[in-house]
């Protein structure tokens, strides 16, 4: 085999980056892959939009059938995004023996099981490096570089938009909404940013990381998801005073024979490796039994970083084709020692809590009494300066407590007449 033919579906942001690299770096890529990578067809819904790249018009089509099932196309690159019809396109390609490269995290998180099984049955390769962490080679690291390890922890800052907002709130001392509008102006947040700020995008990526890192398939519904839209400037400031920063973390942890999978704002000590990840950057911390802690860092999105991963996948796949080693790297190996997903109620963490209460004697005693009743012990307390209408923020750090105890305690505390707003609890990561 001396050439591999590629069909691309989705000539958008990432698609253009991939086409540019295949065009401009053709000779280098050929040396690295050991075969020529030939882009045969580019399919999109329309070609009127300006794309800042010159391509031979003969390559362009609106007809996806020029790619799917075409025996002349060895690899289908899916960069159109969304669930339907991307899923149907990929399944059709797999059925006809075509190999797949995709960046579609939402699709793999939701429909990965069916797609991966189908690829395995048909004996085709599917590569998806750009689906998590943009240009960071975390997928390959979990599938290959760390395969000798039993992974016990994966912590990821995997959503650049949220990380940008939290970093801006901290460094510029601005509100969530000001930071969001700044992110929109700079092109770091979509017009409708809910997938990013509500933690859904991070959960998509966590589902993929968990499958690869722990050999355990999780559905989106298994993941506890909480976004950053309730984080206030005050919480960022108070966390800082306690020596912490707030990050939106995607967390997967092996605890005994169960797995915790959760996405939520998290207090991280300023000494933690992930606490210094700022702006739109992504980072994933992986801890394995042999290697210990490792950190993967880089650009989590953008045309070139994502295209870097897609083109690297193409080279990997081309090498497998050339050396007849398709299926060499299993997508994941089921770990039977993990029995189930731990219910969020049973998760134990330390907490930062902020109460907004009337400044009168006895309130603190009442709060600590309720916490104590629910087996929550306080590590430190800070009562902040009085604000309007005699309301003072009281901020606490607790020792480890069970989530269900914390939720019950907060419900009871929030019913006290001295409590004026819903109390805020943010989990702390060691």
Of 336, 290, 301, give the one whose Cα is nearest residue 145: 290
Q: Report CA-CA distances (Å) from 54 to 6, 15, 292, 416.
A: 18, 13, 47, 67
Using CB under 6 A, which of 3, 13, 60, 233 touches ligand NAP?
13
Closer CB to ligand NAP, residue 87 or residue 354? 87
Query: Could you tell me if 209 and 142 are in contact, meaning their C-beta atoms sit under 8 angstroms apart?
Result: yes
Using the rule CB under 6 A, is 45 a contact of ligand NAP? yes
Using CB under 6 A, which of 85, 97, 327, 369 touches ligand NAP?
85
**Rounded CA gap, 156 and 132, in Å?**
10
Catalytic site residue from 66, 105, 140, 205: 205
Using the rule CB under 6 A, is 279 a contact of ligand NAP? no
Residues that bind ligand NAP (rule: CB under 6 A) add up to a total of 24
Of 246, 243, 248, 205, give the one whose Cα is nearest residue 223: 205
Using CB under 6 A, which of 134, 193, 213, 288 touches ligand NAP?
134
Using the rule CB under 6 A, is 14 a contact of ligand NAP? yes
Q: At closest approach, how far in Å is the CB of 296 from ligand NAP? A: 15
Using CB under 6 A, which of 7, 215, 302, 393 touches ligand NAP?
302
Using the rule CB under 6 A, is 15 a contact of ligand NAP? yes
126-127 and 99-102 strand pairing: parallel
Q: At closest approach, how far in Å is the CB of 159 from ligand NAP? A: 11
Angle at 208 between CA 202 and CA 211, to 5 degrees: 135
Query: Could you tell me if 123 and 34 are in contact, meaning their C-beta atoms sit under 8 angstroms apart?
Result: no
Using the rule CB under 6 A, is 80 a contact of ligand NAP? yes
Buried/exposed code over 271-305 (b: 16+ C-beta within 10 A; e: otherwise)? ebebbebbbbbbbbbbbbeeeeebebbbbbbbbeb
Main-chain phi, psi angles of 69, to 5 degrees: 80, 0
Closer CB to ligand NAP, residue 46 or residue 256? 46
Using the rule CB under 6 A, is 156 a contact of ligand NAP? no
Closer CB to ligand NAP, residue 35 or residue 130? 130
Q: For residue 253, indicate whether it is catalytic.
A: no
Using the rule CB under 6 A, is 199 a contact of ligand NAP? no
Using the rule CB under 6 A, is 87 a contact of ligand NAP? no
Residue with tokens 């911390």: 285
258-269 and 419-429 strand pairing: parallel
Q: At closest approach, how far in Å is the CB of 230 from ligand NAP? A: 26
Using the rule CB under 6 A, is 227 a contact of ligand NAP? no
Residue with tokens 């809590």: 353
Using the rule CB under 6 A, is 63 a contact of ligand NAP? no
Using CB under 6 A, which of 32, 34, 38, 81 touches ligand NAP?
81
**Candidates 8-16, 114-122, 145-153, 318-326; binding stretch for ligand NAP (CB under 6 A):** 8-16
**Candidates 32-40, 44-52, 246-254, 272-280; binding stretch for ligand NAP (CB under 6 A):** 44-52
Q: At closest approach, how far in Å is the CB of 312 from ligand NAP? A: 13
Q: At closest approach, how far in Å is the CB of 303 from ligand NAP? A: 7
Closer CB to ligand NAP, residue 130 or residue 311? 130
Using the rule CB under 6 A, is 271 a contact of ligand NAP? no
Closer CB to ligand NAP, residue 201 or residue 260? 201
Q: At closest approach, how far in Å is the CB of 47 from ligand NAP? A: 9
Residue 323: burial class (beta carbons within 10 Å; 0-12, 13-18, 19+): exposed
Q: Which residue is nearest to ligand NAP (CB)?
A: 12
Q: Report CA-CA distances (Å) from 369 to 345, 359, 360, 422.
A: 21, 17, 16, 18
Q: Is the dihedral of CA 345, 349, 354, 358 positive or negative?
A: positive
Of 131, 125, 124, give the one whose Cα is nearest residue 209: 131
Q: At closest approach, how far in Å is the CB of 202 from ligand NAP? A: 13
Q: Report CA-CA distances (Å) from 52 to 12, 39, 45, 80, 260.
A: 11, 18, 17, 18, 44
Active site residues: 205
Site for ligand NAP, rule CB under 6 A: 9-15, 43-46, 64, 79-81, 85, 103-105, 130, 134, 301-302, 306
């Amino acid at each position: 085999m001396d050439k591999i033919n590629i069909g691309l579906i989705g000539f958008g942001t990432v698609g253009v980056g991939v086409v540019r690299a295949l065009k401009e770096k053709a000779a280098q890529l050929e040396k690295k892959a050991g075969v020529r990578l030939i882009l045969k067809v580019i399919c999109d819904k329309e070609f009127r939009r300006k794309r800042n790249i010159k391509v031979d018009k003969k390559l362009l089509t609106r007809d996806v059938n020029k790619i799917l099932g075409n025996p002349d196309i060895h690899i289908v690159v899916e960069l159109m995004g969304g669930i339907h019809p991307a899923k149907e396109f990929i399944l059709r390609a797999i059925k006809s023996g075509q190999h797949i490269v995709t960046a579609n995290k939402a699709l793999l998180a939701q429909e990965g099981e069916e797609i991966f099984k189908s690829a395995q049955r048909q004996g085709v390769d599917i590569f998806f490096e750009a689906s998590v962490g943009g240009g960071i080679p975390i997928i390959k690291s979990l599938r290959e570089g760390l395969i000798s390890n039993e992974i016990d922890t994966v912590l990821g800052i995997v959503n650049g938009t949220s990380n940008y907002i939290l970093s801006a709130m901290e460094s510029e001392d601005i509100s969530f909404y000001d930071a969001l509008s700044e992110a929109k102006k700079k092109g770091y947040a979509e017009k409708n940013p809910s997938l990013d700020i509500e933690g859904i995008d991070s959960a998509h990526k966590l589902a993929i990381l968990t499958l690869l890192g722990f050999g355990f398939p999780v559905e989106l519904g298994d993941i506890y998801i909480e976004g950053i839209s309730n984080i206030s400037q005050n919480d960022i400031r108070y966390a800082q005073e306690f020596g912490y920063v707030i990050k939106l973390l995607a967390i997967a942890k092996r605890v005994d024979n169960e797995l915790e999978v959760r996405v939520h704002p998290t207090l991280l000590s300023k000494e933690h490796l992930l606490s210094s990840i700022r702006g739109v950057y992504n980072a994933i911390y992986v801890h394995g039994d042999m290697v210990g802690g490792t950190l993967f860092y880089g650009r989590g999105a953008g045309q070139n970083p994502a295209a870097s991963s897609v083109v690297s996948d193409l080279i990997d796949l081309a090498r497998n084709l050339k050396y007849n080693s398709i299926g060499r790297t299993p997508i994941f190996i089921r770990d039977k020692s993990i029995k189930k997903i731990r219910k969020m109620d049973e998760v134990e963490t330390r907490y930062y809590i902020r109460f907004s209460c009337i400044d009168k004697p006895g309130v603190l005693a009442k709060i600590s009494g309720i916490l104590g009743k629910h087996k929550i012990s306080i590590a430190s307390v800070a009562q902040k300066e009085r604000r309007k209408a005699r309301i003072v923020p009281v901020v606490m750090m607790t020792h480890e407590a069970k989530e269900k105890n914390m939720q019950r305690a907060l419900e009871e505390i929030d019913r006290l007449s001295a409590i004026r707003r819903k109390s805020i609890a943010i989990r702390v990561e060691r």
